[in-house]
Amino acid sequence: MWHATLAALPADWIGAEALPVLAAYCRVTVQLRRLGQLIHQAETGPDALDLSAYLALIKAHGAASQTLKTLGTSLRLTPQSRYRAETAAKTIESKRPGPRPWDGMRE
């Protein structure tokens, strides 16, 4: 996660002072993936759904998602944190169609 995030950014995007925030961002991303796997297992597993455990997973996933959003914004990783509305609209209009970021993801 660390390498993929840094590879997607200009070399000077994240300074040394922000590396702990980047580490937290990567850690929460991995936690979200694991929580997603556990939620999927709870929903599709052969055992009866334990509603209290399931709801705890959903709550933890929601909290981690909010944390990831906050960390991503503070690192200026989200589109909203990098562009003003006018600039974003011009950028979108000027882009050629291509593969979407999620096209290669597995379900």
Cα–Cα dist 24/44, whole Å: 30
**Which of the residues in the chain have pLDDT under 70?**
80-97, 106-107
Q: What pLDDT shows up at residue 40?
A: 95
Indicate whether this model's pTM tops 0.85. no
Q: What pLDDT shows up at residue 92?
A: 62
Residue whose C-alpha is closest to residue 74's, from 2, 32, 23:
23
